[in-house]
Structure 1
Amino acid sequence: MNYITIIGLIAAFGTTASFIPQAIKTIQTKNTSGISLGMYALFTFGTLCWLIYGILSHSLPVTIANAITLLFSSIILIYKIRYK
């Protein structure tokens, strides 16, 4: 594993971990009033596209980060739609 991949994995961890508190808070409270449906729908779609890109380009950091981020953003998006 080269230093570029290591930097990518560190960056992926940081940006992906930032979704954990929001996902936990949303699951616990079911309160999504402060979350934009349009923003999360577009963000989730963009994350899906990044995941596909990461898979097709064989980029481990991009694939891992976006797979996990897609999970968290999908949970938040589902709660936003479900608990409107």
Structure 2
Amino acid sequence: MFQIDYIEIIGLIAATCTTAAFLPQVYKTWKTKDVAGLSLPMVLMLFIGVALWLLYGFLMKSISIIIANSITIISIFLLVYFKIKHHKK
């Protein structure tokens, strides 16, 4: 099903770095409920882009792309949820 070779290992390391870099923003937003600095259009565009990367990962059978983008899309979904829930009118 999935082939793990040195190229995929590089992808897994890159996926860990890029996904881990995104998580502090989600945590900070969750703890502070401060969404003023989040642009909803940017977050939605990022969501679409990551969804497409996830689809690409499945089509290419790349475990690194699938794992990274699965975690990232959940994180982005949380940011969208926080932005809508805590948005001050």
How does the TM-score come out when normalised to structure 1? 0.95
Residue 78 of structure 1, CA deviation: 1.0
Which aligned pairs between 1:1-84 and structure 2 lie closer than 5 A? Answer: 1-84=4-87
Name the CA distance, whole Å, in 1 between partners of 2:6 and 2:57: 18
Name structure 1 gaps, 5 residues minimum.
none
- The structure number with the bigger radius of gyration is 2
Q: How far does the alpha carbon of each residue in 1:16-68 deviate from its partner, in whole angstroms, 9 at most, with x for none?
A: 00111101111111110011111001001111111111112101111111000
Name the CA distance, whole Å, in 2 between partners of 1:33 and 1:18: 20
Name the CA distance, whole Å, in 1 between partners of 2:5 and 2:57: 17
Letter in 2 for 1:6: I
Return structure 1 stretches of 4+ with deviation > 4 angstroms.
none
Name the CA distance, whole Å, in 2 between partners of 1:15 and 1:34: 20
Secondary structure at the residue paired with 1:63? helix
Q: CA RMSD in A?
A: 0.8
Name the CA distance, whole Å, in 2 between partners of 1:41 and 1:82: 15
The range that moved more, 7-16 or 52-61, is 52-61
Aligned residue pairs total 84
Name structure 2 gaps, 5 residues minimum.
none
